[in-house]
A and B are shown apart, each in its own frame.
Chain A
Amino acid sequence: MIDLQRLRAVLRKELTQLLRDRITLLLIFMMPLLELFFFAYAVNLSVDHIPTAVCDLSLDVRSRDFIDALVASGYFDIAEYAAGEADVIAALDEGRVRAGIVIPPDFAAQVARGQGEVLIILDGSDTYSVQAAYSAATAIAQHHALDLMVEKLRRQGQTFELMPVESSVRVLYNPTLDGLIFIVPALIAMLLQILTVNLTAQSIVREWELGTIEQLLATPIRPLELILGKLLPNLIIAAVALVLIALIGFVGMGVPFRGSVLLFLFLSLLFAISGLGLGLLVSTVAHTQNEAESITSMLMLLSMLLTGFIYPREPMPAIVRLVGDLIPLTYFVRIVRGVVTRGVGLTLVWQDVAALAIYAALAMYLAARFFHLRLD
């Protein structure tokens, strides 16, 4: 059914046009690289060194001990000293600090009585920081209280050898909880999706906008030849871009790659095909390049939020999760974290691979169907 002379003609036309537009070509390769850098270093999810205002009304050994414990934890940095609770709140209001600590005047005496109380004030407008600060401050206060208790009991002549329960935590795959190891593999997947969807949607919608599509459809070119002729060059570009950003991510940034490179490349190809299919679908809905761009931007936003790329999907309501299921990245984020970070083989990710394959086939089928009917 496919005529090679016609297919080759479309391929050559697409490649000539791609190579002729140098600026677009440069952007195609530069954008993912820039995004890789910015994302990798901006999306840092661990919150520490929270700027803190301290109001120590006690100024004794006990209060200084407590403040030292907070600073030593690494979570709090003392940004300023305040004279009273009102000053601490003012500093929070003005955004100079994210947390405030108020120690009452007779702290040492209170501690001696076993009733020491410190006030910790947090900026609730930044929930990320607050959650981190809240758990850090609580843990530090408890730990500090425990130390004081042990010290007191020792002075009364009692001895302690061991804590009754000790937890020993071992983090697999990412022992230092390095944010890059979490972000980079999924980020590469995301960039690959953006690239494939955008390239395909733009290259087809552009033909509609210029009106060249009618001239093409009036020739003996079959829709399948036209679609293949458009998709294959995009697949080549996506492959080159993938190798480029993967080299920078895994070699340049030193993110460990534990699994099979071959399996990763093969599954990336499948993922790229699903992205091309999604791009084709976008092109059957959008009539202008602007519309296509709006749709792909929306898709990028949803991909960041709903696919497990940054935020875990488990706590999401079922309906929101379902929207995420419509985006190929959802499956591929799990696949890359499995293959790249945990180093597992196909047997452990096959369900997502199967879902992705079905997705790619379905997107292609639907797009080819709608594509055929467009002039009507």
Chain B
Amino acid sequence: MQYLPQIAFLVIVAAATYFLYRRITQIRKNIFLGKASNRTDRKSERWKTMLLVALGQKKMFKRIIPAFLHLLIYVGFLVINLEVLEFLIDGFAGTHRIFAPVLGDFYTVLINVFEFLTVGVLFSCIAFLIRRNVLKVKRFSGEEMRKWPTLDANLILIIETVLMLAILTMNATDMLIQGQDEHYAQTGEFFFSSFLVPLFEGMSLSTLIFVERFAWWFHIIGILGFAIYVTYSKHLHIALAFPNTWYSNLESKGKIENMPVVTNEVKMMLGMPTEGAGDPPAEVARFGAKDVNDLSWVNIMNAYSCTECGRCTSQCPANITGKKLSPRKVMMATRDRAEEVGASIAKGGKGLEDGKSLLGDFITKEEINACTSCNACVEACPVNIDPLSIILEMRRYVAMEESGSPASWNGMFQNIETSFSPWKFAPTDRFKWADDLKKDA
């Protein structure tokens, strides 16, 4: 019986690790439904981008209030989780606050720092809940934010709030138990949780121990459960922001990725030497993107890294003026489709051959046709997600596989083909602008 809590702890940690591992493996498979990407060049620049944008939150600071609130949660998350190490050792070894006697006064300082951050996280979570539900900040609403995305956002904030309250409850009751039960080491005074002490004063020792133990178990199971939840949630950005920024597009934002397959064909048509001319033509599944497997894996990782903050959509000129396009929705749809296809394949289902596709069932032509390629969404994203590249790949599919571009665009294509200008002017009139000048010359 003595070892029962330890066995229970071991089972819970093992089960959580298993589910987490399974889920991570699945997400990895979903991401790699995408095509290969060659973004492994310029490594030092990539590390620098990751350090500045993900670790350093550089792009968050364009909006100072959410940046500050987010920073509190972010630092809290990074630092408070150090305490999980003690939770794990205590849980496995059956000890209690194993570092307290070892670290002495420093332990008191450490826990006080953690508590300070805990209060910071609490403050931010409540502020964020108010921004979402009371102030109703505009970018948190929108067509794509109904139901699950809104519930997800609120759940994350509520879970974090409750986890923080559990830490403070645990510390407050611990202080009361110290001196009454020798299993509880002396830790010194914890500043913030001491405000909660009056709530628990007068309780019997066994009640206090029950509350303390309950809070301890609640916190550790909560953290493990939350870790699994995160993999189903927009909150996954806490992990994927790092690789996502590492694999950022480092080229000028105006540059659209080249299609070497097309280059070969064009050069052959013009009778120019082509690279690898003797090789059999590479198998081209499709020009452009109809479904998630036509995108690059970086596009799909982008989708999993999206935390649905809506900065992209709030800056999108098409969205601002009432068009259906929302860059955030493009990312959410890409993720949803990758999840759907991945889950189907895992079950031995039809996968990509289910009769559905990203373009058509999740994203419409009207949406992709509304894009001005202005890069405002790309610039706005705090974790360097690139919705534009997905939109452009879909336009390629529509233009080259379906010849389904808007009629005016087909007209423009024809003008370029026949008169080498997007407008229908005679090529011989091209230099007429200089006529008046030449007269005076």
Chains A and B come from one and the same complex: no
Instruction: Name B residues whose Cβ lies closer than 8 Å to a Cβ of A.
Output: none
